[in-house]
């Protein structure tokens, strides 16, 4: 009897190890990535705080949406950066050619993707596929996002809009030049995406098959959450694959003509390479899908 029990115990332990294996993470790798991200973060964070003090503006603002619902926006400093990806970046696309961009004005950006609760309070509707107040609103097309921003602006007397593509990437990178703002890889502890297929020397992780509450993963150096993954985020720009070849280097607003709109950052159902800071994607503006949402920009007048 005792021998049978021992054999059973050994089998159970072995089974537990095998079950844990596919999502097993090396803690030393996580620590190294965390440290790397932190070193890069601190510079951008210092610059952000300094710029807010110099402009005599708060680092974050709490916007009252009514019905005891708030939205927090974060101060993003003016600055310069290399937009796009270097030719050496793995799994990059041809439309990401690197070019220097200067953003001359600071702005505020939503700390989180717009949530279902926030969307419902302003629009009295919510057609998201996944249900939950703290989940990002999705299944929301570009026109609907703009209507939300218009209503929010009317209600608050402030000027809300979608980020430009350049503002979005600048805010996502927060001073980093690597493929992700977490470093050279994106592991499933850092974002909600399909981590069954790792990027570069990344580790295989989980696929949740759904959105997650906003802010479930660590923020970037500017204090923005879910810039990689969860839901794709609409930008104001029209998409043109050749735009980077002719783009204005100061405060670019996107091409004049075209139908599709830019979306950025990847989503819960995408592999890591689609969540890269430089990756560009697009959809027609009347396109509703359960992996597309948005985040606000509040202009500083």
Burial annotation 16-44 (CB, 10 A radius, 16+ → b, else e): eeeeeeeeeeeeeeeeebeeebeebbeeb
Q: How far is the CB of 135 from Ca ion (least distance, A)?
A: 12
Q: Between 161 and 264, name the residue whose CB sits nearer to Ca ion.
A: 264
Token pair, residue 210, equals: 């759904």
Q: How far is the CB of 162 from Ca ion (least distance, A)?
A: 13
Q: Between 93 and 189, name the residue whose CB sits nearer to Ca ion.
A: 93
**Positions that interact with Ca ion (CB under 5 A):** 93, 226, 230, 265, 279-280
Burial annotation 175-209 (CB, 10 A radius, 16+ → b, else e): bbebbbbbbebbbbbbbbbbbeebbbebbbbebbe
Q: How far is the CB of 57 from Ca ion (least distance, A)?
A: 25
Q: How far is the CB of 123 from Ca ion (least distance, A)?
A: 20
Q: How many CB atoms lie within 10 A of CB 168?
A: 25
Taking the alpha carbons at both ends of the chain, their separation in whole angstroms is 79
Q: Between 135 and 203, name the residue whose CB sits nearer to Ca ion.
A: 135
β-pair type (79-83, 99-103) = antiparallel
Q: Between 108 and 168, name the residue whose CB sits nearer to Ca ion.
A: 168
Q: Look up tokens 């783009």; give the residue.
A: 247
Q: How far is the CB of 281 from Ca ion (least distance, A)?
A: 5
Q: Between 185 and 192, name the residue whose CB sits nearer to Ca ion.
A: 192
DSSP 8-state secondary structure symbol assigned to residue 23 = G
């Amino acid at each position: 009897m005792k021998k049978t029990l021992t054999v059973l115990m050994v089998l159970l332990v072995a089974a537990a190890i095998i079950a844990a294996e596919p999502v097993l993470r090396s803690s030393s790798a996580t620590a190294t990535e965390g440290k790397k991200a932190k070193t890069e973060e601190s510079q951008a964070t210092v610059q952000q705080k300094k710029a807010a003090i110099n402009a005599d503006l708060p680092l974050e603002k709490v916007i009252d949406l009514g019905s005891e619902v708030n939205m927090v926006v974060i101060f993003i400093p003016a600055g310069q950066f290399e937009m796009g990806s270097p030719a050496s970046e793995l799994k990059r696309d041809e439309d990401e050619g690197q070019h220097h961009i200067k953003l001359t004005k600071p702005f505020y950006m939503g700390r989180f993707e717009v949530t279902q609760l926030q969307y419902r309070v302003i629009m009295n509707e919510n057609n998201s596929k996944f249900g939950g107040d703290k989940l990002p609103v999705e299944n929301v097309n570009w026109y609907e996002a703009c209507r939300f921003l218009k209503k929010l602006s009317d209600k608050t007397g402030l000027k809300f809009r979608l980020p430009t593509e350049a503002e979005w990437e600048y805010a996502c990178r927060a001073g980093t030049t690597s493929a992700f703002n977490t470093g050279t890889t994106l592991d499933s502890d850092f974002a909600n995406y399909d981590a069954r297929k790792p990027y570069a020397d990344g580790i295989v992780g989980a696929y949740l098959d759904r959105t997650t509450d906003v802010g479930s993963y660590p923020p970037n150096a500017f204090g923005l959450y879910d810039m990689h993954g969860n839901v794709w985020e609409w930008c104001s720009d029209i998409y043109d694959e050749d735009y980077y070849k002719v783009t204005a280097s100061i405060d670019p607003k996107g091409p004049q003509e075209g139908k599709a709109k830019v979306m950025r950052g990847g989503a819960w159902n995408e592999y890591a390479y689609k969540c890269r800071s430089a990756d560009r994607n697009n959809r027609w503006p009347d396109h509703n899908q359960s992996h597309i949402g948005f985040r606000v920009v509040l202009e500083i007048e």
